[in-house]
Structure 1
Amino acid sequence: MTSVIIIGAGFGGMGVAIELLEHGSADLLILERAAEVGGVWRDNAYPAAGVDTPSPLYSYSFAPKTDWTFRFAMRDEIFGYAQDVAERYGLRERIRFGSDVVSANWDEHGLQWSVTTADGAEFRADVVVSAVGQLSQPAMPAIDGIDEFDGTSVHSARWDPDIEIADRRVAVIGTGASAAQLIPGIAPDVGELTVFQRHAPWVFRKMDVEYPRWRKAAFKYLRGFQLGERLFFFAMLDTASLGLVDVPAVRRPLAWLSRRHLRRQVPDPRLREKVTPDYEVGCKRVVFSDAYLPALGRDNVSVVTEAIDAVVPQGVRTADGTVHEVDVIVYATGFRATDFLWSIAVTGRGGRTLADVWDASGGATGYLGMAVPNFPNLFMVVGPNTSLSAGSLIYVIESQARYIRQAVELIGREPGRALEVSESAATAFDDEMQQKLRRSVLSRCASWYRHPNGRVTSSWPDAVFAYRRRTRRLDPSAFTFVSSVRGTETPDDPESVDSTGSVSAPGGEPIR
C-alpha cells in the first residue's frame, strides 16, 4: 500500500486524510506542528472571530453539522466541529502532534520522500501532501520601531486571552477581515480604540441569523433542507466570483449594495468619507459585517487614515508627526498568504529546491494548484491560485482531496515509479491563470492575493464550480512517471479514469 505523509491537520489535511482512508488508498501519517487539530480555527481565537461563509457551506459535504447556532458560525463552534470530525473519522491515532516539519527531500534512488521535523525526527513515505494552509503565518507590517513599544503588542492570529484591554487605550493596525471582526468585539470594553486604516474595505451586510430549534430539526431530519440552503449560498457566491474576471457587470450591483450599507450604517458624513473605498470592488477581500461600521462610529473609537511613520515607545507615530499614545497595539495585518510552504525546505529531483523554482518564476505556481514539475509524488492542498475571493474553501479542499486520492491510486499501480506533473501541463495551466488574472479586478491593486512583484499567486480566477469540474478526473496525460534508473518517461499505457472519478486500469476494470 502506498505510504503518505500529510503535513498539517487543519481542514485541508483532514479532508485529504479522510478521502484516502475512506477509499483504502493509503497508509498514512499526519504531522501537525501544534497540539490540536483545526489549523486556522485553532490559532485565531481573537474576540468575535468567526467565518464569513455560511456555516452549512463551510463544512464537509460528507460530514454535515445540523446544529449550527448561527448561519455564520463563530470560531469556537467551527473549532469544535473540526475536533468532532477528527474523532468521528479516527484521525487522532494517525496524527503526530508537536511535529513541526522543517524539510522534505526527494530520494531519487529510493523514490521516497524523507521528511524531517524540528525535533530531529525523520519519516519516509512514497507521497507527501502539504496542507500547511495559506493563513498559517502571521504577517507583521514593515513599520520601523515595532520592537521599541513599551506597552503590550499582539498579532490577531496569536491572540493572548490573558491580555488586558478593559478600559485601556488600544490601537488596531489594519482594517481587513480579521480587524472587521475584532474591532466590534473589543470596542465596548476598551477605554479608547484607535483604528489605523490604510485602505477602507468594501463592507456588505452579513445576513446572519440565529437558527431556531425548528430549523435545526429540519436540518437534522430533512436532508434536503440544509442541502437547499447550502446550494442557495453556493450559487450566490459563485455568481459573485464571476464578477472578478468574466462578467464584470456583476460588480456594479455589488458596489451599489455596499454603498447603500455604508450610508445606512454611518450617518456621520466625515466618518463615511474616511471609510469609503477608493478602489474597485473585488480588488481586495471584501468584508461581511453588520457590526464593523457601527463600531467605528462609537464615541470611544477614532479612525486614523494618516500613514504610520513608526512605532515609538509611547505608541504609534503617523506621518504628520502626531504620536498616538496607547497601552496595547493589535496587529490585524493578515498573513503571508503568498509564501506557500514558507517554513519547509523542499528539495526535489536534481537537487532543485521549491523556493528557488518559485523565485525564478516570480512567485508560486502549480498545476491545478497541486503539483509542481521536478517534485514527484508531492501534492499541495490550497496551493497557488486555488484560494477564493468568494465561496467556500472546503469545496475546493474536497475537490483536491479527490484528485490527490486518484493520484495516490495511480502511484500504487506503478510500483518502482513516481508520478510527476509535466512541464508542458504546468506551464499551460499557469499561462491560462495569469492571462485571466491580468484582465481581472484582482490585478488592479495591492492585496494579499498578490506577490510583491505584482503577480497574483493566490486566487482562483473563475467560478468555484469550474475548479470542481476540472479536478473531477485526474488527467494522466498531464503527468509523467519517474524511475530511479531511467529518469523521466511518459507512461507506456496511460491509465484511464472513469466518470465516477475512480482510477481504472486500461481495460476499464476498477482498482481493487
Structure 2
Amino acid sequence: MIETDIAIVGAGFGGLAAAIRLKQRGHHDFVVLEKADEVGGTWRDNTYPGCACDVPSHLYSFSFALNPGWSDTFSGQAEIWAYLRGCVEKFGVTPHLRLGHTVGDAAWDERSQRWHVETDRGTFSARVLIVATGPLSEPSLPDIPGLATFAGTVFHSARWRHDHDLAGRRVAVIGTGASAIQFVPKIQPVVGSLTVFQRTPPWIMGRMSRPISRAEHAVYRRVPGAQRLVRTAIYWVRDASALGFLHPRINRLGQKLAEGHLRRQVGDPELRAKLTPTYVMGCKRVLLSNDYLPALTQSNVDVVTESIREVRPGGIVTVDGVEHEADTIIFGTGFHVTDSPVMQRIRGRDGRTLAETWTPTMRAYNGTAVAGFPNLFFLLGPNTGLGHTSVVLMAESQVAHVLAALDHMRRNGIAAIEPTEQAQRRYVERIDARMAGTVWATGGCQSWYLDSTGRNSTLWPGFATGFRLRLRRFRAADYAAVRLQQGAPL
C-alpha cells in the first residue's frame, strides 16, 4: 500500500487547482490520480468539431495563472487543454501525477482514520481524499429500444470517433444541447444528410466571440494589472447576469433578444416554430451560437421533433411510424451529472456508498463535504454549478475552503473532520428555499439540472460572489472532529 497525505481524484480544472494550491501552501505529500494518460478532464475528452467554451477566456482560467496569450475572447478546446498542460509544467505538478490510475473503490477506514483508495495500479492510503472528477466526465446515453441492433456507427460527442469519416454519410444527431450546437454546424457541410432529433429546443443567443488583437496581447504582457482589470470587469458583468435567473421576469429582455436572433437566422415559419422554446429562458442552459440555426436551414438537414420509438439496423423510428435512415448516430445527450458512477465507488464510515447516501438526491455542506464521510472533500459537488458564469470560480473557492479545513485540523490536532448532520441539513434547506423562486424551479421545463426527484441538486441559486464569500469563512462549529491519538469525538 502506498502512503500519501492527500489523494486527489481527477486532473481537470478542479484537481489541478487543488494540486497547485496545495503546493503553494506547503503541502507536498499528495498524489493526483487520473484514469486517463493525460491531464485536462473535460477539455481533454471533448474533441468534437467546434468544441469551445461559452465563458469568456479571461474568466475561464485560474485567478493565479492568467493567460495573456488567449487567441480569442471565447477559447476553443485545444487552447484550453494546452493551457491546463502548461499550468502543470509551470507549477511543478508533474511529479505528483499518477496517470493511468483508475479508481475502483475508495473506503474510509475508521481504525486508521484514513482513506484506502484502490486503483488498477495499486492501493493508496491517504489521510484526506479530494474528489475532483467533475460533473461532466461520464457521458450519458439514453436507453433506446433496438440501439444494439443498429448496423452503423454509434458514438457520443464526448468520445468523438475521429477515425470515422462523415463525408457523404447519413447522420442522425440525438440531442440539441451545448455540444450539439457546436458540432452540428461543423459536420453539416460534410455529411450527405443530417437528421437532428430534438426533444426540447434551446434558447440561443448570439456568440460575441472575436480574435484578440496583437495590441491587446502586448498590453496584457507589458502592462501590470491590465488583464486582471479586464477579467474583473467581465466577472462583475457576468455575475450580475444571475439576476435574470434568480428573478425570471428580468429575463424577458434576454428572451426578446433570443427571439430576434431566431427570427433573423431562420426565415421558414414552420422550422422557426419547431425551434421556438415554450419555457422561460434560463430554465434550461442558455446556449451561444451564430452558426447552429443557419445550419438547420440547409437543404440536407431535417429537424425531427417527434419522440424516438426505436432504433432499427438502418435507422431511427419515431412514434409517428416514420423510419429515418441513418448509417451513423451521434449522441449529444450530456453527462451523468446527478448520478455519476463515482458515487458508487466511495464508501464512508458506515460502509454505505455515496450513491446510497445520496439516494434519492445529492446533498452536501457547502457543496464540498458530506456528513458520514470524514476527510472527504468534493470540488464542483452538489449545488455548485452556475448557469451564468465560470465554474472555475466555484472550484477555486472550494479549494480555499479545503485549505482552511486542513489548517484548522493542523492547528487543533485533529485527525478527522466532517460536517454535522444538522449543519448539512440547515445548509441544504437554505439552498432549496432560495431555489424556489428561480427560473430553474418556475420556468416550466425539464432539464439536466434536476434529479429524479425533480429537485435542482446541481446549481448554486445565487451569485458566484455569494458562494465565494460564504466559503471564505471556515465555520468550525459546523464540523464534527476526532482528535489525533485520543480517538475521542470533540
* SS of structure 2 residue aligned to 1:471: helix
Return closer, same or farther for 1:395/1:224 CA change in 2, 3 Å cut-off.
same
- Quick one: which amino acid aligns to residue 93 of structure 2? L
9, 16, 19: which one aligns with 2:18: 16
* SS of structure 2 residue aligned to 1:413: helix
Write out aligned runs for 1:10-409 (5 A).
10-119=12-121, 121-245=122-246, 247-340=247-340, 342=342, 344-359=344-359, 362-409=360-407
Structure 1 residue 164: Cα displacement? 1.3
Cα pair 2:138 2:340 within 8 Å, conserved: no
User: Deviations 1:459-481 (Å, cap 9, x if unpaired)?
Assistant: 11101111011011211111111
Cα pair 2:369 2:378 within 8 Å, conserved: yes
- Quick one: which amino acid aligns to residue 425 of structure 1? A
Structure 1 residue 352: Cα displacement? 3.1
Cα pair 2:344 2:355 within 8 Å, conserved: no
Return closer, same or farther for 1:2/1:423 CA change in 2, 3 Å cut-off.
farther
Cα pair 1:110 1:484 within 8 Å, conserved: no
Aligned counterparts of 2:263 and 2:230: Cα–Cα separation in 1: 29
Aligned counterparts of 2:485 and 2:344: Cα–Cα separation in 1: 28
Aligned counterparts of 1:467 and 1:2: Cα–Cα separation in 2: 31
User: Deviations 1:126-157 (Å, cap 9, x if unpaired)?
Assistant: 10000011000000012111111101111000
Aligned counterparts of 1:435 and 1:145: Cα–Cα separation in 2: 42
Structure 1 residue 167: Cα displacement? 1.3
* SS of structure 2 residue aligned to 1:243: helix
* SS of structure 1 residue aligned to 2:417: strand
* SS of structure 1 residue aligned to 2:465: helix
Cα pair 1:102 1:343 within 8 Å, conserved: no
- Quick one: which amino acid aligns to residue 50 of structure 1? A
Q: 398-407 vs 31-40, which deviates more?
A: 398-407
Structure 1 residue 455: Cα displacement? 1.2
Aligned counterparts of 1:484 and 1:198: Cα–Cα separation in 2: 55
Structure 1 residue 486: Cα displacement? 7.0
Give the RMSD, CA atoms, in angstroms.
1.7
Aligned counterparts of 1:432 and 1:93: Cα–Cα separation in 2: 41
User: Deviations 1:213-237 (Å, cap 9, x if unpaired)?
Assistant: 1111122222433223322322222
Return closer, same or farther for 1:450/1:487 CA change in 2, 3 Å cut-off.
farther
Cα pair 1:102 1:344 within 8 Å, conserved: no
Structure 1 residue 76: Cα displacement? 0.6
Cα pair 1:382 1:396 within 8 Å, conserved: yes
Cα pair 1:194 1:301 within 8 Å, conserved: yes
Aligned counterparts of 2:264 and 2:231: Cα–Cα separation in 1: 29
Unaligned runs of 5+ in 2: none
Aligned counterparts of 1:445 and 1:277: Cα–Cα separation in 2: 10
Corresponding residue pairs, total: 486
- Quick one: which amino acid aligns to residue 445 of structure 2? C
- Quick one: which amino acid aligns to residue 199 of structure 1? T
Write out aligned runs for 1:423-502 (5 A).
423-443=421-441, 444-483=444-483, 489-490=489-490
Structure 1 residue 419: Cα displacement? 1.0
Aligned counterparts of 1:486 and 1:70: Cα–Cα separation in 2: 56
Cα pair 1:2 1:408 within 8 Å, conserved: no
Q: Percent identity?
A: 42
Aligned counterparts of 1:340 and 1:385: Cα–Cα separation in 2: 14
* SS of structure 2 residue aligned to 1:489: coil
Q: 213-222 vs 369-378, which deviates more?
A: 213-222
**Match status 1:7 vs 2:9:** yes
Q: 224-233 vs 56-65, which deviates more?
A: 224-233
* SS of structure 1 residue aligned to 2:334: coil
Aligned counterparts of 2:227 and 2:260: Cα–Cα separation in 1: 30
Partner of 1:497: none
Aligned counterparts of 2:479 and 2:181: Cα–Cα separation in 1: 43
Structure 1 residue 312: Cα displacement? 0.8
Aligned counterparts of 1:45 and 1:35: Cα–Cα separation in 2: 15
Return closer, same or farther for 1:33/1:316 CA change in 2, 3 Å cut-off.
same
Aligned counterparts of 1:479 and 1:416: Cα–Cα separation in 2: 11
Structure 1 residue 487: Cα displacement? 6.4
Aligned counterparts of 2:391 and 2:414: Cα–Cα separation in 1: 35
- Quick one: which amino acid aligns to residue 28 of structure 1? F
* SS of structure 2 residue aligned to 1:302: strand
User: Deviations 1:430-458 (Å, cap 9, x if unpaired)?
Assistant: 00111122322212421111111211111
Cα pair 2:344 2:353 within 8 Å, conserved: no
- Quick one: which amino acid aligns to residue 158 of structure 1? R
Aligned counterparts of 1:223 and 1:209: Cα–Cα separation in 2: 23
Cα pair 2:413 2:484 within 8 Å, conserved: no
Q: 448-457 vs 48-57, which deviates more?
A: 448-457
Aligned counterparts of 1:323 and 1:188: Cα–Cα separation in 2: 23
Aligned counterparts of 1:374 and 1:488: Cα–Cα separation in 2: 16
Return closer, same or farther for 1:470/1:227 CA change in 2, 3 Å cut-off.
same
Aligned counterparts of 2:414 and 2:109: Cα–Cα separation in 1: 13
Return closer, same or farther for 1:288/1:488 CA change in 2, 3 Å cut-off.
farther
Unaligned runs of 5+ in 1: 491-512
Aligned counterparts of 1:155 and 1:83: Cα–Cα separation in 2: 25
- Quick one: which amino acid aligns to residue 95 of structure 2? E
Cα pair 1:31 1:99 within 8 Å, conserved: yes
Aligned counterparts of 2:440 and 2:56: Cα–Cα separation in 1: 23
Cα pair 1:367 1:425 within 8 Å, conserved: yes
Aligned counterparts of 1:367 and 1:488: Cα–Cα separation in 2: 23
Q: 43-52 vs 16-25, which deviates more?
A: 16-25
* SS of structure 2 residue aligned to 1:339: coil
Structure 1 residue 243: Cα displacement? 2.1
- Quick one: which amino acid aligns to residue 179 of structure 2? S
